[in-house]
Structure 1
Amino acid sequence: MKLYPILVVLTILTIGCKDKPKPVVKSIPRPTVSNDGNRITFPDTVMMRSFTTEPAHSEVIRTDFSAPGHVAAMVLKSTENPAERLVLFDEPSLSENYTAILQHRINIQTERGNLGRVKDLQAHGAASGKEVIEAQTQLANEQAAIISDEATLKLAGFDPEELRRARPNTILVVCEIPENQFGMIKKGLPCTLNFTSFPNERFVGRIDNVNDYVDNTTRQIKLRISVPNPDGRLKAGMFATVGFGVTEGKFMTVSRDAVVTVQGRDYVFVKTGPQAIERRELQLGQQRQDRVVVLGGLRENEPVTVVNTLQLKGLSFGY
């Protein structure tokens, strides 16, 4: 008789356990990333709260930068032909190129004169068509050869025409600047130079050539700077640090915490919607304290992520 209440309780507990539903495990929502990694879309605005943004804005700042360089050539007046310039390069191969260009110029003038003479003879029946073709071929060969030598000089930062017009008693300094600094550089800009051989002196130069191409590997652009050298103290091959002055102006800046760098390229993440963030590549200038100058890639007041950017970097680039 005493077992009856116990059996009733056990029966009720058993029924209760059978009727209790099992908990449903819900999947955790995750952000969606585009195939190229440029756009990240979040499932709700709650997840976006951890990625604080601030607007990119312009401000008046002072910015400057410097770059290493070396004296790549000296320009002297030729004693044999005062109309020509004697150029002493720090690389013997460039001297050979420049000398070849001067010789090609003489040869081209000679071949043009020869072609004109042969054509005149042909007009009077004293020369054949074959001789005209041979004269044309000789001229074309010289013109092709000079193009090759001129290209070699230009790749090294020299323009053959400008070398012929360069002032005597001048040195030519070649330096390279990063691509992202190019917007601040232009032909004719003055600069200061400190040479290792004369650490306590400052020399003044001027940019007289900016190369037409960016090196594919280093992403650098060559500049050529002319510096007066009346006493001949500065020699080909000397090293220098080139300072490009101080520029005060209004520049757009972003927080240094907003910038991530991947394989030598700089990026920020811009909020483009309530649940969307876009990766943006930038061209950056100098850093001032905790701010970085933006030379390109952003518009005024665009909201840039400044908190948890490393998480966005991992989502965008897959690591």
Structure 2
Amino acid sequence: MMNIDPRLQQPLLLSLLCAALSGCGHPSETGTAPASAVVRKGAALSVPAASPLRQSLQLATVEEHDVARAIPVPAVVEADPAHLVRVVPPVSGRIGQLLKHLGDTVKAGDALFTMDSADVAAAYSDSGKAQASLTLARHNLERQKELRAADISARKDLEQAESDYAQALSESERSKSRLAQLGAGSGAGGGRLYTLRSPLSGHVIELNGGQGGFWNDTNAPVMVVADLSTVWLSASVQEKDLAAVFAGQTADIELNAYPGEHIAGKVGYVSEVLDPDTRTVKVRVAVDNRNGRLKPGMFARVTFSAAPHRGVVVPASALVQNGTQTQVYVETAAWTFEARTVTTGIHSGDQVEIASGLKAGARIVAKEGVLLND
């Protein structure tokens, strides 16, 4: 370690201290003070020419546009009840042959399946008996008319024959109606085979019965046939939004299965009944589904648009929250701004309606106005 002469220590320390002080000069001696970013003059905020805020603040002119309140609600895809048939056999029996299977396309009148049914055989038997009784009653009536005309029989015999004929005719019509209801022929001796046909065109969307199985539940469908070229979207609209929804109104639909894709629909029905538990009303929207992309059970989001009106609109980024107040900075002179309290209305995307406090034509800070909020 080097030894320093004590006589030289004090001058050396003074030299080092002076050097340190010369390297840490006072701000007033080394440069000018930075310019203020904002200058406040009462309620006015002025941005000087040298302020960096001039590069950050984005200005825009307030405009007036058509504004419509959007009402988004959840929905689910449903088959049109008017074009969906649950094929329930009116008789019990064994399924003989399935002529259509799940997913098959069918036309109205196509045979769906056959059944070997004792009920059908009984219906044919009843029809045959009724026809035979009717024939016998008719012959007896004709004979009684001839006897009465020759004054051989009593009048009461003719009246009885007429009554028997009327009853036989009624029973014959009943048996024919029963066969017609089954879709079977009216002749006797039709056997036990019953063929059930599709009442509409569409697709088999559900199949519950199997070939050779016995079916005795006349309340359960063997299969379901539906025409899905048009489907319904069932939406639940809140009570407070009900006044803005009406039949014939257009609706924008976005399905969970196809995010970002929008489909147009039209309101076909607004329920007359309010659900007391959810305080919502069912609204059905008809949607063209000829391409078959919409499947019953899919979830979707439906947006209804209320009747449009003219309103003052600003970007959402122009709004600055100051405590409980919503404000917009309005340019009163070149690069001079004043905070103005506004009341907002409808929010639509990145645009907000100003219900009060601002008029069209004013220049405002459209972005980064929070930098002025001290």
TM-score bucket (shorter structure): 0.3 to 0.5
Structure 2 length as normaliser, TM-score? 0.30
User: Which has the larger helix fraction?
Assistant: 1
